[in-house]
Amino acid sequence: MIFGFALLTGFTARVTARTLTTKMPPTTSNVQDLVDDFFYYFAYGSNLLKERIQVQIDGARYEVNGHLPDYELAFVDFGVPNSFALELDAQEINYSRINVTVEVPSQKNEDGTMRKIVCRTYRITDPNRKTQQPSPHYKHVIVSGAIEHHLPEYYIEKLKQIQDNGFKGRVELDLEAIRELNELGLTDREVGRKYSISASDKPTFTKSL
């Protein structure tokens, strides 16, 4: 299974952790660690959307929204079966696997302290590489994932305001979320009416994601 968290820190989509680890830290009374059959995955970008992450990791299951101190990103955490570890590594090309301790403000331990969970995530291999604007498809998937997991409205509005690169056409991955973009070649602005944060709305978006 995969469990998902949504991180509610800053806004720059870059992870710059210095230490690469492949082994979880020891469990403490206030930090929930790796268990036998799954690990927690701290997801961001297109993997915020359940439909996207389950393309390759079909055991993924959302857990809770979380916060990563001193980082600037919005995430969702998923619990992933250990059997999918290599598939996840392969999906995150140009990224290195690291472990981070995620805070869960909405949940408390028995002693009243904030729940913390050690999660696997991925940092960009070259943090100095030139940044690029996202395609309308990729942006739409990210916004849909943020809506799906009830990230704060102000944060969703910030995501919507990111300028895309204006690409029109199809992308390789045919998600239901971006089917309209794929079929009609519409720009992000032209499908802006689908960006709704009401609980009844279903996400509709994805990248060469």
pLDDT digits (tens, 9 = 90+) for 7-57: 333 222 333 222 222 233 333 334 444 455 788 888 878 888 999 988 888
Q: With both helix axes pointing from N to C terminus, report the angle between 136-148 and 153-160 in degrees, rounded to the nearest 10.
A: 170
* Region of poorest pLDDT, from 59-63, 90-94, 171-175, 197-201: 197-201
3-state secondary structure at position 145? helix
Q: Judge whether 50 and 58 are in contact, CB under 8 Å.
A: no
pLDDT for 28 equals: 38
pTM score, two decimals? 0.62
Long-range contact set of residues 193-197: C-beta below 8 Å, sequence gap at least 24: 194/140, 195/143, 195/147, 195/156, 195/160, 196/147, 197/147, 197/153, 197/156
* pLDDT of 70 over the 50 cut: yes
Predicted confidence band of residue 204 (pLDDT cuts 50, 70, 90)? very low
Closest of 110, 109, 116, 112 to residue 77, by C-alpha: 116
pLDDT for 14 equals: 30
* pLDDT of 171 over the 50 cut: yes
- How confident is the model over 137-158, as pLDDT tens digits? 989 999 999 999 998 898 899 8
For domain 31-124, say whether CATH 3.10.490.10 is its number: yes
Domain boundaries, the chain: 31-124, 136-194
- Find which of 8-12, 121-125, 134-138 is predicted with most confidence, using mean pLDDT: 134-138
Rounded mean pLDDT of 87-98?
69
